Structure 1
Amino acid sequence: MSVTTENTKAFTSGDFHRTYARPVYVKPAKLVHKQVEQAGEHSQFSGERKHPVFFVDLPTQNVSMTIGGLLPGQLTNRHRHTYETVLYVLEGRGYTEVEDEKVMWEAGDAVYIPSWAWHRHQNLSQEEPARYIACENAPQLQNLGVALREEEGRDL
């Protein structure tokens, strides 16, 4: 015979509305990443994506943030991933192709890319770069072991 108390109760699907969690603040190693772009481009990620990418290095476990850029006239590879992405365009104009829909964007716009949707980005200017902030829930899915990314034409 097993004995359970309120704090050690084994939950079932009928207990979805109950929780006995007691959040505790744990001071992270750092709260600010100063001068992100001056810290340098992430060479491996930038090389794979063929455009400059700067990681925001903070101890988040659920969301990530990167600063990305598209060179003048650049069209990225078509790819998809299991995590969601929200892009906030800092400068430039272009489009993001999501599956078979072309979404036009310019500085000040936010673009949503659903999980596992084939997509790619195009900078429409031949003279000026485009820059954006990308926020993704990749760390959360990585911690669960279900974050996948696929480049068109390459195996997982």
Structure 2
Amino acid sequence: MKTAFSSKDFHETFARPVYRKVEKLIHRRVESSLEHEQFSTERKHPVFFVDLPTRNVSMTIGGLLPGQLTNRHRHTYETVLYVIEGKGYTEIEGQRVEWEAGDAVYIPSWAWHRHQNMSETEPARYIACENAPQLQNLGVALREEEGRDL
């Protein structure tokens, strides 16, 4: 099977699903793993990557300390947050979307956003699913922190 195509090969690129065996099907004890230092430092809150060989979607577990407000940022990939603990809000392009455990929040591509834990005593945690790997594989994944150049 051909692995690289050029424009002259368009007639050869029809879908042919193929199962590809991967070595890793489970990531045990995700939150016991090390945090990704650069990512969590940049976001200023704990972020745990689910390390599985996906090509199109990613999953992370994010945490917000009591009262914590993250930096405003945006990215070319979509995000769906599922809140597993706590109460807070996500500001998306100036619109405040309040959430609590059990809620899911959609963050559109390239929307400025940030997250706030509204409790001064309890942490908040969420699972974030994104299509970042898909865009990274296409070479079009961008992420920007407010006040920084791309």
The TM-score normalised by the length of structure 2 is 0.91
The one-character-per-residue Cα deviations of 1:67-117 (angstroms, maximum 9, x if unpaired) are 000010000000100000000000000000000210000000000000000
- Between structure 1 and structure 2, the one with the greater Rg is 1
What residue in structure 2 maps to residue 14 of structure 1? none
Structure 1 unmatched ranges of 5 or more: 1-7, 12-18
Structure 2 unmatched ranges of 5 or more: 1-7
What residue in structure 2 maps to residue 64 of structure 1? 58
User: Identity, % of aligned pairs?
Assistant: 81
How far residue 21 of structure 1 moved from its aligned partner, in angstroms, is 2.0
The TM-score normalised by the length of structure 1 is 0.88
Matched, 1:93 2:87: yes
Quick one: distance in 2 between partners of 1:84 and 1:129?
A: 24
1:149 corresponds, among 124, 135, 143, to 143
- Residues 133-144 of structure 1 aligned to structure 2 (within 5 Å): 133-144=127-138
Matched, 1:10 2:4: no
How far residue 20 of structure 1 moved from its aligned partner, in angstroms, is 2.9
Quick one: distance in 2 between partners of 1:59 and 1:130?
A: 27
Instruction: For 1:81, give the aligned amino acid.
Output: H
Quick one: distance in 2 between partners of 1:124 and 1:21?
A: 47
Quick one: distance in 2 between partners of 1:9 and 1:45?
A: 39
Change (3 A) 1:95 1:22: same
What SS class does the counterpart of residue 59 from structure 2 fall into? strand
Q: How many residues align?
A: 143
Quick one: distance in 2 between partners of 1:120 and 1:9?
A: 44
Quick one: distance in 2 between partners of 1:100 and 1:42?
A: 29
Matched, 1:40 2:34: yes
Quick one: distance in 2 between partners of 1:9 and 1:154?
A: 41
Instruction: For 1:24, give the aligned amino acid.
Output: V
